[in-house]
A and B are shown apart, each in its own frame.
Chain A
Amino acid sequence: MDWTTILRFFRGPFFVVSLLIFIGGMTYRLVRVLLLGWSRDRVKSRGSKAMGVLKSYAKGVLVLPFIPWVKRTFGNNALTYLAGGLFHLSLLTVVVFGTPHMLVWKSLLGFGWPTLPFPVIDWLSAVGIIALVLLLINRLTHPVLKLITRAPLWLNWILVFLPFVTGYAMTHHLCLRYEVFFSLHMIAVDLLLIWIPFGRISHFLFYFFSRTIHGAQAGKRAVNP
Chain B
Amino acid sequence: MNTQSAMNAYVKEIGGWVAAQLEACTRCGLCAAACHFYQVTENPEYAPVWKVEPLRKAYEQRFTVAGKLKLALGLETPVTDEDLKHWSTIVFEACTICNKCAMVCPMGIQLGPLIHDVRAGMAAAGLVPADLHAATAKQVEVGSPLGVTASTWAERMDWIAEEWEVDIPKDQKGVDTLVVFTSIELMKFPDNIAAVAKIMKRAGEKWTISSKGREVVNFGYFEADEALTKMFMARVFDAAKELGVKRIVISECGHAYDAFRWTAANIMDVPIGVEVTHIIRVIYDFWKAGRISLKKGSYDDGTITFHDSCKIQRRGGHIKEPREILKWLAPNAFKEMSPAREQSICCGGGGGVISIKEADPLRFAVFGLKVDQMKAIGAKSVCMVCSNCRLQFTEGVAYHKADVQVRGLTDMVSKVLE
Contacts and interface: CB of A to CB of B under 8 A. Distances in A.
Interface of A: 29, 32-39, 41-44, 46-47, 56, 60, 64-65, 68-73, 76-77, 80-81, 84, 142-151, 153, 198, 200, 202-203, 206-207, 209-211, 213-215, 217-218, 220-225
Interface in B298-351: 313-317, 319, 338-339, 341-343
A207 B24 contact: yes
Contacts of B391: none
A51 to B, nearest CB: 13
B266 A42 contact: yes
A147 B108 contact: no
B34 interface: yes
A202 B23 contact: yes
A76 B109 contact: no
A152 B266 CA distance: 37
B42 interface: yes
A209 B21 contact: yes
Given A210-B21, A210-B108, A223-B317, A145 B27 contact: yes
Given A84-B106, A202-B23, A223-B313, A36 B30 contact: no
Given A36-B63, A69-B103, A73-B33, A60 B108 contact: yes
26 contacts: A33-B16, A36-B14, A36-B19, A39-B17, A43-B261, A44-B265, A47-B317, A69-B343, A70-B103, A71-B339, A72-B33, A144-B44, A145-B27, A147-B44, A148-B27, A153-B27, A209-B20, A209-B21, A209-B23, A210-B107, A220-B262, A221-B317, A222-B317, A223-B314, A223-B319, A224-B341
Contact of B23 (A33, A44, A70, A214): A33
B107 A148 contact: no
Interface stretch (B45-53, B196-204, B233-241, B381-389): B45-53
Given A38-B16, A43-B262, A147-B47, A69 B27 contact: no
B102 interface: yes
A119 B211 CA distance: 75
Nearest to A220: B262
A37 to B, nearest CB: 4
**Number of chain B interface residues as a range:** 35 or more
Nearest to B108: A214
Contacts of A146: 44
A195 B75 CA distance: 17
Name the prevailing secondary structure of the A interface residues.
helix
Interface in B242-296: 261-266
B151 interface: no
Contacts of A218: 342
Nearest to A69: B103
Contacts of B39: 72, 76
A70 B339 contact: yes
A148 B76 CA distance: 12
Contacts of B16: 33-38
